[in-house]
Homo-oligomer: A and B are copies of this chain.
Amino acid sequence: MPKLKMGEDHAACNAVTGVDMKVLVLTGMPGSGKSEAVKVAEEMGIPIQRMGDMVREMVRAKGFELNRANLASVANSERKRLGPDIWAKRTVRVISRSPIVVIDGARSLAEVDYFRKELGTSLLVLAVHSSPWTRWQRISKRHREDDPRTFGELRERDGQELRWGLGDIIATADMMLLNEGSKGHLRGQMRHLLLDLSGRPPATGPPAETTFTEVVER
């Protein structure tokens, strides 16, 4: 994996960490309820940094149609060209300054490690988990165009999502919301967590310099 130069990015990020923000990296498998959890944060006035928005912008700028295949292809070719944490690097450059910020769309520990290194130890990873069968029941009801149409297709989609290391982020999450019940229950849990977080002192745990990057490289 190419080591990325830091230079001016690093300076910009120090300015960011100077604000003493809490950064919540929100993650989950398709249909887990992650988007609903992001919505709760948004409704509470917390800025959301959507990594996917940058990819969408680039797909549009290249004149490609906005669909899953093109989004994945552009995201991946940028990772291959500029390193597995390129989208994290670009996210840090534009991140909002606010007491709490939510980052949506991290796909690998390389990205989380970059956030941790640049945004300090107040970074927390929150995973929303539902069983594959629960996720399938939700997805089969929502009728989105790009969604899997069978349980087997959901397993394949899962595989695509896991390929970059999403499972590694979920397995090492700092917090986990289980979402097997109603939307209301998840919303309640999420609101509770964000209220708790906004009153919480900065985390004392993970040393910022520790990274997974070398050991999980595939």
Contact = CB atoms under 8 A, between A and B. Distances in A.
Given A205-B151, A206-B151, A218-B163, A158 B172 contact: yes
A151 to B, nearest CB: 6
A58 interface: no
Contacts of A38: none
Interface stretch (A17-25, A173-181, A192-200): A173-181
A172 B216 contact: no
Contact of A163 (B169, B172, B173, B216): B216
Interface in A160-218: 160, 162-163, 165-176, 178, 203, 205-207, 209-212, 214-216, 218
Given A167-B165, A207-B151, A172 B215 contact: no
A173 B216 contact: no
A52 interface: no
A99 interface: no
Nearest to A203: B133
Quick one: which of A155, A156, A205 has the most chain B CB within 10 A?
A: A155
**Closest 8 A-B residue pairs measured CB to CB?**
A159-B215, A167-B167, A167-B171, A167-B168, A133-B205, A170-B171, A152-B210, A218-B218
